[in-house]
Amino acid sequence: MVAARVSLCCLILLLLGGCALPIHPGFPISESQALSARDAMMQRPKALDRPLVIIGGYRAPYHVQVRTMTGRLIKMTSQVRADALGVSVMYDGSIESATDHVIRNIEKMWPSDNPEFTVEVDIVGISMGGLVARHGAATGIQSDGSTRKRLRIARLFTIATPHLGACLADSLAPDYMTRQMKQGSEFLTALDEADADRAYEMICYARTNDAVVGATRTAPLGMSPYWVHGPWTLSHVTVARDWRISADIARRLRGESPLSLEASAPPRN
């Protein structure tokens, strides 16, 4: 009985962990190497160039994604908690209302005297959070038709974001927000059209075995993500806990050479 339980625990760790995953040449780092990079950065704090905002995904509680990513990035950069703002959009009913929610929080923490734009920020958008950021930068029209400030983004890091629509939403879209994330939706089409005037840098990340979004859908048309192999189960759900991705973002925030080498099309979802 004890042996069976040990075997089951080992199997679960193998499925959920990243240590046994193959290494992609375009992102040539293991989870253990990422942890070493984390430790090195934590020993040498470095100030951020601008405020950092982390936006969570669809129906994700704050502590599941946002708190994890916010804490990690601050520990690997300035180590000043006030430099970052984490926003969960768990209770918003549309990407438009989620965008309004994020901008209100940014204005509350770092008020801007510019009537059209927020202060300049770097943003990490987890899953749907990347679409929220793109929408906030693209238009100043609120969900009720009134106007608001637009996001002034310097760099946008998106993690497993359904830029080309979420695979799961194509077959299961129980609410308006998920229908906005269907491939070819009116919302996504409008975002792509607005990208012609995009003035900020965007870096996309993906993990394979993503049954929710699909790794091949995690960058807009004409772009490719930096991707790593993900676990066979719960790859999308646990993506915010991938040290390879968070360490790479931290290196970029610090102005240092990233761990990833080349963006490319993932071979599969």
pLDDT in tens, 74-95: 999 999 999 999 999 999 999 9
Vertex 248: Cα angle to 267 and 63 (nearest 5): 95
Q: Please tell me the total count of domains within the chain.
A: 1
**Inter-helix orientation angle 186-194/128-138, to 10°:** 60
pLDDT in tens, 152-202: 999 999 999 999 999 999 999 999 999 999 999 999 999 999 988 899 999
- How confident is the model at residue 20, as a pLDDT? 66
Residue 100 lies inside a defined structural domain of this protein = yes
- How confident is the model at residue 163, as a pLDDT? 98
Residue 149 lies inside a defined structural domain of this protein = yes
pLDDT in tens, 39-56: 999 999 999 999 999 999
Residue 188 lies inside a defined structural domain of this protein = yes
Residue 219 lies inside a defined structural domain of this protein = yes
Residue 242 lies inside a defined structural domain of this protein = yes
Name the residue range of residue 174's domain. Answer: 24-253
Where residue 249 sits, what CATH number does that domain have?
3.40.50.1820
- Give 5's contacts (C-beta < 8 A, 6+ positions apart): none
pLDDT in tens, 6-18: 333 433 444 444 4
Nearest of 130, 129, 167 to residue 268 by alpha carbon: 167
Residue 212 lies inside a defined structural domain of this protein = yes
